[in-house]
Structure formats: structure tokens, C-alpha cells
Amino acid sequence: MTATHPTHGRTTAKHGWATGMTAFAAIMLMIAGILAVLRGIAAIAEDEVFVSTRNYIFEFDLTGWGWTHLALGVAAVLVSMGLFQGSGWARVIGVGIAGLVIIANFPSLPAYPVWSVIMIAMSAFVIWALCTPRGKDA
């Protein structure tokens, strides 16, 4: 008969929860990245796709904005692939990329509030999930 450690079940559950959160964060970052790539391509290809808002404090060139989203989207997809492999560097860079996605979506709040809030919320969740302790840290 073997003795079991009383906290073993909780530690295993915490580790499983943290691992699942990291995988879900990787999926969410990949989805956000793909959507950012598509949004960037749309902004670069057709200026008529997006609504222009008058008297908004943030004025920006739509093509430049499109390239920004395209670059962030590609970076997000690449980092999410690193997250699927469990890379430590991907966790750190993933937090940074998700933060930049939040900042990049802020200027479009007046024109596309629902889309922007969804992207901001997805990125905020990615940051939270990647900052959650995992494994021995939990």
C-alpha cells in the first residue's frame, strides 16, 4: 500500500489548469493573429472597406494602419506556434504582442466598437492566461 500526498491532487489539477490555459491562450492568440492579418490585408487592399470617422483625435493613414495590423497578426501567429511547443520565450513575447494588439485596436473603437472590444478582450485574456503561473510555479 502506498501513501499519497494530500496536496498531490490539487497540484496536478493546478498544473492541468495552467497547461490548458496556455493552450487556450495559444489558440486565442492564433485566432487574433489571423483576424489581424485579414484586417490588415483589407485595409491595405481597399480603402473603401473601412468607415472614416470625422473629428476623431486619432487620425492615421489607413494603409499604414493596415501594415501595422498585418505585422502584428503575423507575429501573433508565429508566437502562438511557439506557445503550442511550450517555449518560454513565446510566453513573454506573447504578452507583448497581445498588448500591442490591444493598443492597435484602440484607435478603431469609434468606427468599429464591437470588433475592437472583441479583439481587446481576446488579447486581454491572452495576457492573463500567459501570466498565470504554471507547473512548479503554480
Instruction: Per-residue pLDDT tens, the chain, 138 aa: give them.
Output: 455 545 554 555 555 555 678 888 999 999 999 999 998 898 888 765 555 556 555 566 677 888 988 999 999 999 999 999 988 899 999 999 999 999 988 888 877 789 889 999 999 999 999 998 665 544
| pLDDT at residue 93, rounded to an integer | 95
- Spatial separation of the C-alpha atoms in residues 69 and 102, rounded to whole Å: 11
* DSSP state string for 112-138: SHHHHHHHHHHHHHHHHHHHS--GGG-
| pLDDT at residue 132, rounded to an integer | 80
Using an 8 Å Cβ cutoff, are 129 and 21 in contact?
A: yes
Residue type, 1: M
| pLDDT at residue 27, rounded to an integer | 94
Domain ranges of the chain: 30-47+70-138
